[in-house]
C-alpha cells in the first residue's frame, strides 16, 4: 500500500494528481520480466470488516507471439477513497492471486 511517506522514500515528489489525504493507493507489482507480454491487474477490491482483499490477475505472454526482449516491471496502482472504507482504523490489506493464493498481507491505519 502506498502512503505519502513510503512513496517519498522511493520517488521524488508525489505522483501527479495523487491525494494521500482523501485516498489510499494499492500497488501490485510482479518484479522484473523479460518482455512486455507480462502484465498485472487488480481485478477486485472488497472489504470484509477489518480486512481489505485485493485480487490480483497475472497475465502471461501469448504463446507463439513475438515480443521485444526488454526488461519490464509490470505494476498496477488502484486508488481507493478513504470514505469508501468502512470501518476505518487499523485495517489488514491482503493481496491474493485470482486462484486464492495469498501473496502479501500488511496492516495500515486508515484514518478518517
Quick one: residue 38, left, alpha or beta (phi over 0 = left, psi -120 to 50 = alpha)?
beta
pLDDT at 10 over 80: no
pLDDT tens string 90-100? 999 999 999 89
Q: Indicate the DSSP class of residue 61.
A: P
pLDDT tens string 46-78? 999 999 999 999 999 999 999 999 999 999 999
The dihedrals phi and psi of 32, each to the nearest 5 degrees, come to -90, 130
In the prediction, which pLDDT does 97 show?
96
What do you get for the CA distance between the two ends of the chain, in Å?
A: 17
For Cα atoms 21, 50, 107, give the angle at the middle one, nearest 5 degrees: 65
pTM of the model: 0.87
Amino acid at each position: 500500500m502506498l502512503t505519502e511517506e513510503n512513496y517519498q522514500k522511493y520517488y521524488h515528489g508525489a505522483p501527479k494528481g495523487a491525494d494521500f489525504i482523501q485516498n489510499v493507493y494499492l500497488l501490485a507489482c510482479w518484479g522484473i520480466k523479460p518482455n512486455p507480454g507480462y502484465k498485472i491487474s487488480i481485478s477486485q477490491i472488497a472489504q470484509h470488516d477489518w480486512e481489505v482483499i485485493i485480487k490480483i490477475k497475472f497475465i502471461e505472454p501469448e504463446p507463439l507471439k513475438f515480443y521485444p526482449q526488454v526488461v519490464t516491471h509490470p505494476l498496477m496502482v488502484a486508488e481507493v477513497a478513504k470514505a469508501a472504507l468502512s470501518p476505518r482504523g487499523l485495517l489488514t490489506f491482503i493481496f491474493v492471486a485470482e486462484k486464492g493464493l495469498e501473496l502479501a498481507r500488511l496492516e495500515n491505519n486508515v484514518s478518517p
